[in-house]
């Protein structure tokens, strides 16, 4: 499996500000994904980030709020814009490998608290 | 109807017993199914995937798939306290031009000595 790192691992931010989360992979991957996991809940897909094209957002998530960059095959960023306390969550990136069955591997996550 | 359903638990089993975790899904066209383990405060870790009907074994873990019943399960034999975690079922669905994983809410497993 790929080795995935995320920065920052956690942050406490003021409402109205923005935070950019970085995701770095140790090998080239085509598909990267961004998820949100709110306290005590399961994972919700925010968007799919495919290198060389615009990110594809899921229902309920918009580019103005969660802009994503995917400049190459090993790196992606997710920005959480104009934050409110409701954005407090864990944000996870994942990468898809296609060795056999499209399995995804997750980074360690970024724990965001908005005050 | 939720796309992927799991009993939230907690499922409590004694050490050494078999833990049985169940998951149902709504999309009959789904082909690939995944089980992730998530310890508290950690990110999900892939432990099994299955795409053919029947059983797939890996060490103490067995995944079972029944596409006709739209049902997938995970058995953990000889359960250990270190198996205590939340187990997430995920189903691969094709939507919007991409394959994407849809996760269930997770089942919390507690293995007591």
Cβ pair A51, A72 in contact under 8 A:
yes
Cβ pair A18, A79 in contact under 8 A:
yes
- Mean pLDDT in chain A? 93
Cβ neighbors of B20 (< 8 A, separation 6 or more) are: B73, B74, B75
Cα(A58)–Cα(B28) distance, rounded to whole angstroms? Answer: 21
Q: What is the mean pLDDT of residues A86-115?
A: 90
- Residue-wise pLDDT for B48-106, tens only, equals 999 999 999 999 999 999 999 999 999 999 999 999 999 999 999 887 777 789 999 99
| Cα A62 to Cα A21, B18, B66, distances in angstroms | 17, 44, 36
> Is the confidence at residue A98, as pLDDT, over 90?
no
CA torsion, ordered A1, B35, B39, B21, to nearest 10 deg: -160
> Is the confidence at residue A101, as pLDDT, over 90?
no
- Residue-wise pLDDT for A14-53, tens only, equals 999 999 999 999 999 888 999 999 988 889 999 999 887 7
Q: How far is B108 from chain A (nearest CA, A)?
A: 11
- Cβ burial of A32 (10 Å; 0-12, 13-18, 19+) is buried
Which of 12-31 (B) contact A at CB < 8 A?
none
Which of 80-109 (B) contact A at CB < 8 A?
88, 92, 96-106
CA torsion, ordered B97, A60, B9, B16, to nearest 10 deg: 40
Cα(B37)–Cα(B35) distance, rounded to whole angstroms? Answer: 7
- Residue-wise pLDDT for B25-45, tens only, equals 998 888 899 999 999 999 999
Cβ pair B80, A39 in contact under 8 A:
no
Return the percentage of chain A with pLDDT > 70, whole number. Answer: 97
- Residue-wise pLDDT for A58-85, tens only, equals 999 999 999 999 999 999 999 999 999 9
pLDDT of residue A44: 95
User: Does B32 contact chain A (CB < 8 Å)?
Assistant: yes
CB contact under 8 A, A96 and B51: no
pLDDT of residue A64: 97
Cα(B112)–Cα(B17) distance, rounded to whole angstroms? Answer: 10
Give B9's contacts in chain A (Cβ within 8 Å): none
What are the backbone angles phi and psi of residue A33, rounded to the nearest 5°?
-135, 150
pLDDT of residue B1: 60
Which of 38-77 (B) contact A at CB < 8 A?
42-46, 49, 51
- Mean pLDDT in chain B? 93
pLDDT band at A100 (very low <50, low <70, confident <90, very high): low
CA atoms within 13 A on the CB side of A90: 21
> Is the confidence at residue A114, as pLDDT, over 90?
yes
Q: How far is A81 from chain B (nearest CA, A)?
A: 23
Residue from A38, A42, A103 whose CB has the most chain B CBs within 10 Å, to mutate? A42
If phi > 0 it is left, if psi is from -120 to 50 it is alpha, else beta; for residue B47 that is alpha
Residue from B4, B10, B23, B43 whose CB has the most chain A CBs within 10 Å, to mutate? B43
């Amino acid at each position: 499996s790929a080795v995935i790192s995320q920065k920052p691992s956690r942050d406490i931010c003021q409402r109205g500000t923005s935070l950019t989360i970085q995701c770095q992979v140790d090998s080239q991957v085509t598909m990267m994904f961004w998820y949100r996991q709110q306290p005590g809940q399961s994972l919700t897909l925010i968007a799919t980030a495919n290198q060389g094209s615009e990110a594809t957002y899921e229902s309920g998530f918009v580019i103005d709020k969660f802009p994503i960059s995917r400049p190459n095959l090993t790196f992606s960023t997710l920005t959480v814009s104009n934050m409110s306390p409701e954005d407090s969550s864990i944000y996870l990136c994942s990468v898809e490998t296609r060795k056999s069955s499209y399995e995804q591997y997750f980074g360690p996550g970024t724990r965001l608290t908005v005050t | 109807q939720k796309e992927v359903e799991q009993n939230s638990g907690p499922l409590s089993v004694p050490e050494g017993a078999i833990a049985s975790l169940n998951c149902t899904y709504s999309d009959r066209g789904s082909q690939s199914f995944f089980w992730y383990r998530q310890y508290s405060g950690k990110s999900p870790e892939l432990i099994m995937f299955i795409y053919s009907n029947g059983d797939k074994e890996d060490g103490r873990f067995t995944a079972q798939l029944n596409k006709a019943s739209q049902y997938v399960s995970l058995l953990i034999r000889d359960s250990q306290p270190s198996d205590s975690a939340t187990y997430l079922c995920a189903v691969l669905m094709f939507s919007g031009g991409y394959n994407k994983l849809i996760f269930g809410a997770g089942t919390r497993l507690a293995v007591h000595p």
